[in-house]
Amino acid sequence: MLVLSFGISFRATSKVFLAFNLYLNLNIKQPTHTTIMNWTKKQGIGNFREKSDFKGKKWILIADESIQFGNKKLLLITLVSVTNENNDKCLTYKDLIPLVLKVSSSWKSEKIAQEIEKHIDVKNIVYAISDKGSNLTVAFKKLNIIHIEDINHYFSNIMQKLLENDEKFKAYTKALSDMRAKLSMSKYARIVPPNQRIMSRYMNLTPLFDWGVNMINLLETNELTDEEKEILNFLPQYKDFVFQTYEILTTINKIQEIIKNKGFSKASVKKSLKLFKNLDYDSAIKVKLLVTEYFNNIKNKTKNRKRVICSSDIIESCFSKLKELFKKNKTVGITDLSLCIAAMLGDMQNAMDIKETFEKITMKKVDEWKKENIGDTLFKEKRNLLKKTG
pLDDT tens, residue by residue, 356-375: 888 999 999 999 999 999 88
Please report the pLDDT score of residue 324 as a whole number.
Answer: 77
The CA distance from 270 to 273, in Å, is 5
- Provide the pLDDT for residue 370: 93
Residue-wise pLDDT for 73-106, tens only, equals 899 999 999 999 988 889 999 999 999 999 998 8
Could you tell me the residue ranges of all domains in the chain? 10-45, 49-149+312-387, 155-301
| pLDDT category of residue 343 using cuts at 50, 70 and 90 | very high
Stretch 149-177: mean pLDDT: 95
Provide mean pLDDT across the span 127-145: 96
pLDDT at residue number 326: 67
For every residue of 183-250, DSSP letters joined together read HTTSTTGGGPPPPPPSTTGGGS-HHHHHHHHHHHHHHHTT-S-HHHHHHTTTGGGGHHHHHHHHHHHH
pLDDT (tens digit per residue) in 185-201: 899 999 999 988 766 67
> Which pTM value belongs to this model?
0.88
Local structure of residue 69 (DSSP, 8 states):
B
Give the model's pLDDT for residue 334: 79
Report whether 68 contacts 318 (CB < 8 A): no
Share of the chain above pLDDT 90, in %: 72
CATH topology classification for 49-149+312-387: Nucleotidyltransferase; domain 5 (3.30.420)
Mean pLDDT of the chain: 90
- The pLDDT of 42-56, averaged and rounded, is 93
Q: What is the pLDDT of residue 331?
A: 47
